Amino acid sequence: MTPGCEGSNVRLSASEQRRWRELEAQLLRDRRLAALSRRLATRRAGGEFPQRSCTVCVVTVCAGLAAAAAAVLLHSGTLAVISVAILLAALVMLFTLLMTLALRDRRHE
């Protein structure tokens, strides 16, 4: 009797039974490979920069650079301090984003 066919009247020869076991083993390997492939694809997708966070960082840097340019053009010390604060905030956001991604990658390993 073949495994998984209990209750049926199917009789297999020794070579057919051997082939049946080989096919079951191959199916099990294929399922494991598919699961591993899905995990790796998820890890790769998770390791990329999130689009929204990158957009926020880029917009913040642009605002900081615009404020710095305006400070130079207008000879404004206050605007220069504001531009430095904005650029520092962008730096903190970028550092936080990179640390979050690094910790997430380390957790997946």
pLDDT digits (tens, 9 = 90+) for 54-65: 888 888 999 999
Which of 44, 45, 43 is closest to 108 using CA atoms? Answer: 43
pLDDT at 3 over 70: no
Q: Is the pLDDT of residue 40 over 80?
A: no
| DSSP collapsed to 3 states, 20-58 | HHHHHHHHHHHHHHHHHHHHHHHHHHHHCCCHHHHHHHH
pLDDT band with cut points at 50, 70 and 90 for residue 108: low
pLDDT of residue 82: 92
Q: How confident is the model at residue 52 (pLDDT cuts 50, 70, 90)?
A: confident
For residue 86, count other CB atoms closer than 10 A to its CB. Answer: 19
Mean of the per-residue pLDDT values for the chain? 80
Dihedral (CA of 75, 78, 82, 87) sign = positive
For residue 108, what are its two tokens?
């997946």
pTM: 0.51
Measured between alpha carbons, how far is 94 from 33 in angstroms, rounded to an integer? 36
Residues above pLDDT 70, as percent of the chain: 79
